Chains A and B, each alone.
Chain A
Amino acid sequence: MSDYKYEEKEDFAGRKVKVLGPTYEEGKPEDRGDWRSKLGSREDALRYIRTAMRYWYSKEWYGSEKRKQEA
């Protein structure tokens, strides 16, 4: 996950900030769109599971289901 480009942009107050650039790949895919192969190590995979699939794998995430008592 280290091959991401960052861009320098202005924030609302006009300050310079570094933000993540486009994450899509240019051109038409010739092969299957195997995005999973970009997650090389087990740590990358686990980080992805806990963030992208937070609906089931992150304790901090509640979305619409935040409640005091668990079901």
Chain B
Amino acid sequence: MPDEKIRSIDKATLKLLEKAEKEKIGTVFSRADEIKPCPIGVEESCCKVCAMGPCRLPRSKKGEAKERVGVCGATIETIVARNFARKVAAGAASHSDHAREVVHTFIKTARGEAQGFAIKDEMKLLAVALDFGIAIEGREIKDIAMELGEKALKEFGKQDGELVYIGKAPLKRQELWKRLGVTPRGIDREVVEIMHRTHMGVDQDYKHLLLHAARTALADGWGGSMISTDLQDIMFGTPVPVLGSINLGVLKEDHVNVVVHGHEPLLPELLVVASRDPEVRKMTEDAGAKGINLAGMCCSANEVLMRHGIPCAGNFLQQELALITGAVELMTVDVQCEMQGLKNVAECFHTRLITTSDRAMIEGATHVEFHPEHGLDTAKKILKMAIENYPNRRHAVYIPDESRDMVAGFSHETINYLLGGLFRASYRPLNDNIMNGRIRGVAGVVGCNNVRTPHDSAHIAMIKELIRNDVLVLTTGCAAMACGKEGLLTPEAAKLYAGSGLAEVCEAVGIPPVLHLGSCVDNSRILMAATAMVKEGGLGDDLSDLPAAGAAPEWMSEKAIAIGQYFVASGVFTVFGTTWPTSGSEKVTRHLFEEYEELYKGMWAYEPDPVEAAQLMIRHIDKKRRALGIDKARDRVLFDMAMRRALD
């Protein structure tokens, strides 16, 4: 491993990378050394949507302003915008197809056909039923759930009108979307339309293409992702604060280690139930292990962590490293962010790699398909495979001792409750503390890891800079896990890292300065928390008025682009790091970075230096504070009884 390159700021990751190198096991890190990003692809100056191409149109190195068009005459603006829109479509499709699977399972659960599943959160069911205009008076829970499931499913195939959840956005935002013609009609419809418009010879006006990219992204954030979050909450419980632990040190040498990796929480929920089954426990003892140790990876980890406190083994770039410990009997993968490289690493050890979704297989892995009708049986079968594999460990086990405690589970409902209690639940205390300047603003820092940026480094540098400047951070996905490993998700972190104003509020409410809101689809919770702040009053009447910003400093997936695009189209200034996928066209980039502010009152930015990116966010927050007239921090004068009487 070359010394000059820092690969991660996480010690456990570095230790296992050293082991991988010694044992000559290839990982994403070593492969990245061998493959450099294509210089034309990195700026998206390449079109391959028809067989007259591919047409490669790199920018002139000498800066000559020559016209760059493909064989068909497509301009570089059209090509770059098409590539960007297709990324949005793929990201929106991923979150939404996850949601579709959740809805199908939800309907089966309501019918009593999903083994091991139940409607756990009746309050959330009632609330979401009201969103969908479903009568709840005097009706059985399962009837309400049935109707909700059917109505939610229709959101995917709707052709006209607008998605139900659009009605939850601030009124002014809804009006802006209507005016621009970007209110999403149906989830699938918008994705299909992007694929059509970006086909050879269809939509060839970059601004027009990017309008539809916004519409499709909104169908994700205020559609697929939100449906997924809400229905998962109803089936598995809305997250409440829970203590958990994170990093590769959560694996246990004397236990059967099962790592659940991927995104859909359906099977992982049942693995939790199955691991407590007496027959499974007995088998574990007979195999000579002290128990089953379930651990999560990526967003599956966030889901089971938030609801059960199941430990989290790590984030995206640690997936292969978990297997290199030699301690993992079995890893399940469902959909999204699972590297095919896992198969080769698993083969170096005794680990069984199990694919579980009918939509995702990996050549050479064992496929055990999950269907909710016999979900619990499948979960038990998988655990038994893991137990049977325990005696097959053929390498010395090496588990780094790094692991940290953290608090997760801050759904927007829980934040509301924590700020005021059962009788006075409200976002008012948060708004008040923003107005009086103790809290400068709010930032959503989300997204992946990317091997082209030292693992976790950008998340942590950015978030520390934000909280030091009194910005409360809401986080999800791999960013949230990076924070957990760094100790930022505990209330004590406020004293250590936060500015005095933010620290004071965190101490009073008993929350960390960085709140873990869940997985990638749970970015919809950030939209809801921000909407509640707008509706509470005092901070303007649109999401774009809030002193708030978003970021994904280590993004890598198309899902992140979809998320960024729906944040921006919702009025949020959003900064991405690592690389930027429209740099091939100055016009397209200017449109997204500058002209979008006119259109959506939110815009994109790109800044690879995480501290500078945090400063951009802070400058934007300060601009919004000035516009609201709250730029000068004011301490509230607390009147005592004598002062009040003197007023009369």
Contacts and interface: CB of A to CB of B under 8 A. Distances in A.
Given A4-B423, A12-B644, A63-B537, 13 more contacts: A23-B422, A24-B421, A32-B240, A33-B242, A36-B121, A42-B122, A46-B126, A49-B123, A49-B126, A53-B127, A55-B536, A56-B535, A71-B171
Contacts of B594: none
Interface string B527-552: 00001101111111100000000000
B126 A51 contact: no
Given A23-B421, A56-B168, A57-B127, A10 B641 contact: yes
B355 interface: no
A71 B240 contact: no
A20 B309 CA distance: 33
Contacts, number: 102
Interface stretch (B101-109, B387-395, B410-418, B580-588): B410-418
Contacts of A20: 423
Given A32-B241, A36-B121, A64-B538, A55 B175 contact: no
A64 B541 CA distance: 6
Nearest to B123: A45
Contacts of A32: 240-243, 309, 409
Interface in B196-239: 237-238
Contacts of A29: 241
Interface of B: 121-123, 126-127, 130-131, 136, 168, 170-172, 174-175, 178, 237-238, 240-243, 309, 409, 413-414, 416-417, 420-427, 531-532, 534-541, 641, 644-645, 648
Q: Which of B136, B172, B425, B539 has the most CB of A within 10 A?
A: B425
23 contacts: A1-B423, A4-B423, A12-B645, A23-B422, A29-B241, A32-B240, A33-B240, A33-B241, A45-B122, A45-B126, A49-B126, A51-B425, A53-B416, A55-B535, A55-B536, A57-B127, A57-B130, A63-B534, A64-B536, A64-B540, A64-B541, A65-B541, A70-B171
Contact of B171 (A4, A57, A67): A67
Interface residues of A, number: 33
Contacts of A39: 123, 422
B422 A38 contact: yes
Contacts of B122: 42, 45
Q: Which of A4, A23, A51, A71 has the most CB of B within 10 A?
A: A71
Q: Which of A12, A39, A55 has the most CB of B within 10 A?
A: A55
B641 A52 contact: no
Contacts of B168: 56
Q: Which of A24, A33, A34, A67 has the most CB of B within 10 A?
A: A33
Contacts of B170: 65
B417 A35 contact: yes
A23 B303 CA distance: 29
Given A12-B645, A20-B423, A64-B536, A49 B175 contact: no
B547 to A, nearest CB: 14
Contacts of A65: 170-172, 534-535, 541
Contact of A55 (B420, B531, B541): B531
B419 to A, nearest CB: 10
Nearest to A20: B423
B413 A71 contact: no
Nearest to A67: B171
A52 B240 contact: no
Interface in A1-15: 1, 4, 10, 12
Nearest to A33: B241
Nearest to B424: A23
Given A32-B242, A55-B532, A65-B171, A23 B423 contact: yes
Given A52-B417, A65-B171, A36 B238 contact: yes
Contacts of B238: 36
Contacts of B175: 71
Contacts of B136: 46
Given A12-B644, A42-B126, A63 B121 contact: no
